[in-house]
Structure 1
Amino acid sequence: MVGWAIAVHGGAGVDPNLPPQRQEEAKQLLTHCLNIGIFALRSNGSAVDVVELVVRELETNPLFNSGRGSALTAKGTVEMEASIMDGTKRRCGAVSGVTTVKNPVSLARLVMEKSPHSYLGFSGAEEFARDQGVDIEDNEYFITPDNVGMLKLAKEANTILFDYRIPTAENEKSPLPMNGLPLSAYSPETVGCVVVDSEGRCAAATSTGGLMNKMSGRIGDSPIIGAGTYACEVCGVSCTGEGEAIIRGTLAREVAAVMEYKGFGLQEAVDFVIKHRLDKGFAGLIAVSSKGEVAYGFNCNGMFRGVATEDGLKEVGIWK
């Protein structure tokens, strides 16, 4: 028997000027989701059940970029994506381009458990969702006034809106977004959860609406097994940030790989991957190990995250 551990994230890369009220709202939601996961783990919930449960809660709340509150495409619609992985047998399921599914993470689990495939997208994923009887909503359900405003600003600047900012070299107090779009509004990000249960079983799940003003059909790292999500016998990992960089670095799988082949500990593996596998990209990740450890890392201003372990650790934070 090992002690359980859980981590949850609401996106890496945070505007340094994020209003205190927004910061508090984010912390309250992360604490709420942690408590849901803790209760389920204390009730002997399995790792894969708990990651689905927690990510469903995040998808239902419009604060972060998944489910309701997802970022909008250039067409003003949502194209959501999610994945889930059960590390005990390395089973996985993923979906992309879903527009009406209330909880994409649950559809991803159904792909894993009720289909012969690992990944379904767009119209095929929507057809499968209806065959499985999942909760469906009109596209308008997912669209929030905040994101409509964000899309307008992104279109005016003729750019894709990344959710993170980094300080310029000239003035560390003057943040500049990676794509040159000076916005003071808060843009939300991907959500994810990783869990190791008391049996040492690891699981991970990630869900997102993607980038604001993205091209229709764009697929990020979140539904890609080994990039945004990975779980195996030794760990579970969920990533967030610049999806294209995460895909190139196969970030989630790299954490497991250096643990398996280099013998790194969990936090050592996370630090190594963040430092050496992102090139010039910006991202963060959360991870658990089969030994009951929890870790996180990021190379940008901040990451919305919360962690808890059976031995009493409980932490919710945003900044470094």
Structure 2
Amino acid sequence: MLARLALAATLLLAAPAAAQNAAPERPAWALAIHGGAGVIERQNLSPEQDAAYRASLQRALDAGAAVLEAGGSALDAVQAAVQLMEDDPLFNAGRGAVFTGAGRNELDAAVMDGPTRNAGAVAGLTRTRHPIAAARAVMEQSPHVMLIGEGAETFAAARGLEQVDPAFFFTESRWRALERTLRERGEPVPERPAGAQSPGAMAALPQPPLDERKFGTVGAVALDREGRLAAGTSTGGMTAKRWGRVGDVPVIGAGTYASNADGCAVSATGDGEYFIRATVARDICAAIGAHQRMSPGDHAANDAGAAMACAGEPDEAGCRHRLRITQTAASWEIDDVASLGGSGGVIVLGPDGDIAFAMNTSGMYRGAVVAGGAPRVAIYADEE
């Protein structure tokens, strides 16, 4: 790993230097979101499902952007966007989360404040409606970073966070996915949860495709008018997970990280075990931070190499855009995850409000908007 990072410092940090000289002025604020990455292909989504996902992403973007436009904090914007996705049955977080092998919804979340590098995380929640709010409460109202299980639930309730019956999180498509997975394993299917709505009653809610194979996480990264960065992530984990499994989302530095010292905020989605082993979010920020701390002389010395990398390209400006530090750092780290055998993606907010998406999957539900710009949402890997 150290050798890989040393190589990254030599190659990846040098490449964006020329592009940096032409970088636009930092926007007043910026926001990016994701709703999970994985095998998401056009032939697997009906036109109605495609439109439903894009509309949901747009609503989450609008919620976060409204906070930022009004002068609110990056933390508030992240929470606003994530909470909308936690309430949306299309995403594997909150209502719409996948089921464990025992037929429960166990929810994880994390949030991090860039200026202070304070962080909060929760794992294994079953009754707290908005896990992202619980993670923020851990950060702001406790001396701890991570709380799990019953203790986390007790803490959230004591802080006045909304509690719901576990049946609130139930969705028909996620239950059918659990049944299919357990039958494929040759394992018994648990009884339908008490209080769960009937299939007919659930039909009115938007549903993900039944053959969907994606990694369940929602997340947001934001930069506010005061220059503060924040990141937040929330997930239901893996279908049919057992033994109290916890993935990368609540592990600070793996699935979630933000640091104004590095000029970086990251939220990840994918095979959590690999993202933990690769310390994905922290590595991306370390690379961006190292680039930020390069001397003017170092940048000047690397200009020629960056220009050479794009020389002769039909779209030289586009080439330099792809080589900017935020995108390069994100892509390097996702390549590292792939080298370990993992799949997934990241959203990254870098210096000057630069937004990057990187994935080694066929799709990732995602969106971005900056002050004064038009919002954009995308699903498939080949979309800009």
After TM superposition, the score normalised by the length of structure 2 is 0.75
**Aligned match for 2:283, one of 254, 277, 290:** 254
**Higher alpha-carbon deviation: 284-293 or 107-116:** 284-293
Any idea what SS the aligned residue of 1:225 has? coil
Letter in 2 for 1:125: A
1:20 maps to 2:69: no
Of 267-276 and 25-34, more deviation after overlay is shown by 267-276
Equivalent residue for 2:20? none
Identify which of 69, 85, 100 aligns with 1:58.
85
Structure 2 residue 194 is the aligned partner of structure 1 residue 134: no
Name which of structure 1's ranges 233-242 and 2-11 shifts more when overlaid on structure 2. 2-11
Q: Show the counterpart of 2:327.
A: 267
2:36 is the counterpart of 1:11: yes
- Could you list the runs of 5+ residues in structure 2 that have no partner in the other structure? 1-25, 188-208, 293-323
Query: Structure 1 unaligned runs (5+)?
Result: 161-182
Q: Is the 8 A contact 1:75 1:216 kept in 2?
A: no
Relative to structure 1, the CA distance from residue 300 to residue 319 in structure 2 (aligned partners, 3 Å threshold; closer, same or farther) is: same
Tell me which of 172, 179, 204 is aligned to 1:152.
Answer: 179
Aligned equivalents of 1:262 and 1:274: distance in 2?
18
What secondary structure does 1:291 align onto? Answer: helix
Q: Which residue number corresponds to residue 175 of structure 1?
A: none
Aligned to 1:310: 371
* RMSD over equivalenced CA pairs, Å: 1.7
Q: Which amino acid aligns with 2:33?
A: V
- Of 28, 36, 44, the match for 2:63: 36
1:186 to 201, 212, 222: 212
**Is the contact made by 1:242 and 1:283 (CA closer than 8 Å) also made in structure 2?**
yes
SS at match of 1:190: strand
Give 1:288's match in structure 2, choosing from 341, 349, 364. 349
Tell me how far 1:276 sits from its aligned partner: 2.8
Higher Cα Rg, which structure: 2
Q: Answer whether contact 1:246 1:278 (CA < 8 A) is retained.
A: no
* 1:276 aligns to 2:301 (yes or no): no
**Residue 74 of structure 2 aligns with which residue?**
47
Moved more, 141-150 or 286-295: 286-295
For 1:241 and 1:23, the matched residues in 2 are separated by: 21
Aligned 8 A contact 1:200 1:292 in 2? no
Q: 1:278 Cα shift?
A: 3.8
Q: Counterparts of 1:186 and 1:20 in 2: how far apart (Å)?
A: 15
Structure 1 residue 90 corresponds to structure 2 residue 113: no
| CA distance, structure 2, for counterparts of residue 25 and residue 216 of structure 1 | 34
Q: How many residues are treated as equivalent by the alignment?
A: 298
CA–CA separation in structure 2 for the residues paired with 1:99 and 1:62: 16
**Alpha-carbon distance change, 159 to 216 in structure 1, aligned in 2, over 3 angstroms:** farther
- Equivalent-residue separation in structure 2 for 1:56 and 1:23 (angstroms): 21
159 and 312 in structure 1: CA distance in 2 versus 1, 3 angstrom threshold: farther
Structure 1 residue 277 displacement after superposition:
4.1
Measure, in 1, the Cα distance between the counterparts of 2:166 and 2:125. Answer: 10
1:61-210 counterparts in 2 under 5 A? 61-158=88-185, 185-187=211-213, 189-210=216-237
Which residue identity is paired with 2:255? G
C-alpha distance in structure 1 between counterparts of 2:186 and 2:291, whole Å: 41
TM-score (structure 1 length as normaliser): 0.89
* Corresponding position of 1:173: none
Question: 3-state DSSP class of the match of 2:353?
Answer: coil
**Could you tell me whether the CA contact under 8 Å between 2:291 and 2:325 is conserved in 1?**
no
CA deviation string 1:65-119 (max 9, x = no partner): 0001111000000110000000010010000001000000000000000001000
Percent of aligned pairs with the same amino acid: 40
Distance 1:315 1:33 in 2: 12
Moved more, 275-284 or 252-261: 275-284
* 1:127 to partner: Cα distance: 1.1
Q: Secondary structure at the match of 1:64?
A: coil
* Map of 2:320 onto structure 1: none
Q: Is the 8 A contact 2:115 2:229 kept in 1?
A: yes
